[in-house]
Structure 1
Amino acid sequence: MADEESDRFVVGQTALVVPVPEAEPAVRAWRDRFDPAARAGVPAHVTVLFPFLPASLVDAGTCAALDEIFGRHPSFEVRFEESGRFPGVLYLAPTPDAPFRRLTEAVVDRWPEAPPYGGKYEPHPHLTVAQGQDDAVLDEIEAGLRLGLPFTARVPTVDLVAYDGTDWQHRASFALQ
């Protein structure tokens, strides 16, 4: 959920994310300080789709459709070996990233009214570590991150989270096959 406006989340926004608990030892201290999503309760993750539908439109039918969509995709392993950057953002790059892209494409095919990042950016699978910082700070964080790399993670689920005005709340998990 990284973009320059993610420190201004909107009540009722939702997102589909892949939690990556295996990343926490390497990124938690950095994310707690430099990632607004972490401070708002989102664990280390790779975003599948942000924003998704408004929370008021997410009902049992939406969840059933998500369950069916994600259930067609196999679970997979991913490795995090290196970092990358967008302007003002430091992230870890998942390898391979194609399974994440397929998950995003499948959801957008079903809900074209919910393009990734509101259509502002092309989706690029990543695990945000820090944002809104200058290059010197990002250089320092990046050097510290190298000590925790590489690591491998298993991806068995996609989670639906919703912003309540204070924190991102877990709403549902959808199993991959």
Structure 2
Amino acid sequence: MFEGTDSAVVVAVPAAEGAVSAHRARFDPAAVWGVPAHVTVLYPFVPPAELDEDVLRTLADAVHTVPRFRADWNATGWFDEDVLWLAPDPAEPFRALTKAVFRAFPDYPPYDGEFQDLMPHLTVARDGTPAELRAVERQVREHLPISMLVTEVQLMCGSDAPHSWRTIRDIPLSA
């Protein structure tokens, strides 16, 4: 039904673009693919060819179990010294979104079940030397805090081809 090899459910964070877009363009392949600054809710998700009205309805029902919320990004975090990210506060509503969507689609565990503890985050940089990433961290910190009202998630599809990811549907949280 939709183009691409992969799909994902994300919370786009346009409020962060000014702080992170140049760094993501250089140090995060997902930015080159066309994925905006975001917090992942569930990836990988249902293959694009299998996204039909039933899947979209089930996804909307799951997302709608979580009320809209305000999130702030006040701090940076690290996965080892390889990945620099921004930490959302509060993190729990993002976890609630992931749990709700995964409960509705149990065949699609977050990150293929690779991680035990899911830490909601906005990836800033992951392909660079530790020194480059520390410099990015200093620059990004100058733009904190970032704040926004989270009112919806995006269902996106694409591949690892440049500029291939597109938002297929915006799905609202409950009021």
| Deviation for aligned residue 1:111 | 1.2
SS of 2:60's equivalent in the other structure is helix
| Deviation for aligned residue 1:132 | 2.2
CA RMSD of aligned residues (A): 1.1
What are the residue-to-residue correspondences of 1:50-65 with 2, within 5 Å? 50-65=43-58
Say whether 1:168 aligns with 2:162: no
Say whether 1:154 aligns with 2:149: yes
TM-score for both structures, normalised by structure 2: 0.92
Say whether 1:14 aligns with 2:7: yes
**Counterpart-to-counterpart distance in 2, 1:20 and 1:119:** 24
SS of 1:148's equivalent in the other structure is coil
Does the CA contact (< 8 Å) of 2:59 and 2:104 recur in 1?
no
Q: Percentage identity across aligned positions?
A: 42
Aligned to 1:89: 83
Say whether 1:112 aligns with 2:109: no
TM-score for both structures, normalised by structure 1: 0.91
Aligned to 1:121: 115
**Which AA in structure 2 matches 1:50?**
Y
What are the residue-to-residue correspondences of 1:17-36 with 2, within 5 Å? 17-36=10-29
Runs of 4 or more off by more than 3 Å in structure 1?
none
| Deviation for aligned residue 1:69 | 1.2
**Counterpart-to-counterpart distance in 1, 2:50 and 2:114:** 22
What are the residue-to-residue correspondences of 1:65-76 with 2, within 5 Å? 65-76=58-69
Give 5+ residue unaligned stretches, structure 2.
none
Does the CA contact (< 8 Å) of 2:84 and 2:137 recur in 1?
yes
**Counterpart-to-counterpart distance in 2, 1:48 and 1:77:** 16
**Which AA in structure 2 matches 1:43?**
P
**Counterpart-to-counterpart distance in 2, 1:141 and 1:165:** 24
| Deviation for aligned residue 1:72 | 2.0
SS of 2:66's equivalent in the other structure is coil
**Which AA in structure 1 matches 2:145?**
P
The number of equivalent residue pairs is: 167
Q: Deviations over 1:145-165 (max 9, x none)?
A: 111001211101010011145
Q: Deviations over 1:94-146 (max 9, x none)?
A: 00000000000011111111001111113210000001222111110001111
Q: Deviations over 1:14-58 (max 9, x none)?
A: 100001110011111111111111111111110001111111121
